[in-house]
Structure 1
């Protein structure tokens, strides 16, 4: 269902000549966002993160300074901001548990101009942190955060990377894979197109 804009979640626009598409990304630190690696089809100069996006409006935020694939196996990447965003980022939580109720927040079709929140349940767990949810999503939800209502507030437990007619597939987010906090956390991040995740970015089922 459509939800109010969230300044820590944004629409990640990526495009080029005669092409326009988008994914979803979310802040885990004021200067660091996470998304699906297969969303990085182009270099950082063709990526635009619109935090708090809703009906064409979005919050002011520093531009992206670099991108980096942090896990090919889990199809996860980070987006490095040139400075801190004003929004409060989401903490990274423990991996999902079987049967646990969670929420997916993103910009899937057809409501691509408003944040959509879907209430889901974990229906399967697999090796490497993969999990299945009972709420299929559509194009635009790749990289969407999977959120748990923690005691201290919502926390990210994974990212959406694929979908089918009956389930969505995500991977748990490992805080140890993220660049260490600090002034140079994103130093050296690749400004060019990063390598495609295993299986290729055109693999079927990627939302």
Structure 2
């Protein structure tokens, strides 16, 4: 008896809570590879922490939006990096426009409110990990009352507003039992 096997295309399955406009910022060099978190904030612009791109050639950076377990929604090259002075914030211009819906940026936020940071911590680098915590006052730096692992740097800190979910800060670093986040300035043009 002859068995016939058909090769059908496989559609990747994504968790219901995977946010397509959040992804990994991957860097691979001769002796290193590392990642941070990045979020799409315009058709041709992404947002991350500045320390994630310091000293790295932009042609070695890849933005992998909607990444989960080896699958992704979009893959982008970086055409330009815009670093914000005196803040751990960087805007990344995409070489080609995205077809995904970007997250909105709001330059001010409610103090002492609940917010959510979604990113890719080192211990779960292939899954988006949302963490909900209190956001404390501070400008341009604020405290997010949750510790964050490496890999979460650059993760968007999102609050519910009257206009929907909006990014109000990015994860910058860890400080004991809390994290340091940077308020997000108004996005520039790419």
TM range (shorter): 0.7 to 0.9
Over the aligned positions, Cα root-mean-square deviation in angstroms equals: 1.6
Cα deviation, residue 3, structure 1: 7.1
The alignment partner of 2:74 has SS state of coil
The alignment partner of 1:14 has SS state of strand
TM-score, with length taken from structure 2: 0.86
Deviations 1:52-79 (A, max 9, x none): 000011113442212121x131111111
Larger Rg: 2
Aligned to 1:55: 69
Asked which structure has the greater RCO (Cα within 8 Å, sep 6+), the reply is 1
Aligned to 1:203: none
Matches within 5 A, 1:124-163: 125-126=137-138, 128-163=139-174
Aligned to 2:123: 110
Aligned to 1:190: none
Contact in 1 for aligned 2:59/2:77 (Cα 8 Å): no
TM-score, with length taken from structure 1: 0.79
Unaligned runs of 5+ in 1: 181-185, 187-207
Aligned to 1:85: 98
Unaligned runs of 5+ in 2: 1-14
Aligned to 2:22: 9
Describe the shift of the 1:4–1:58 C-alpha distance in structure 2 as closer, same or farther (beyond 3 A).
same
Q: Count residues in correspondence.
A: 175
Higher strand share: 2
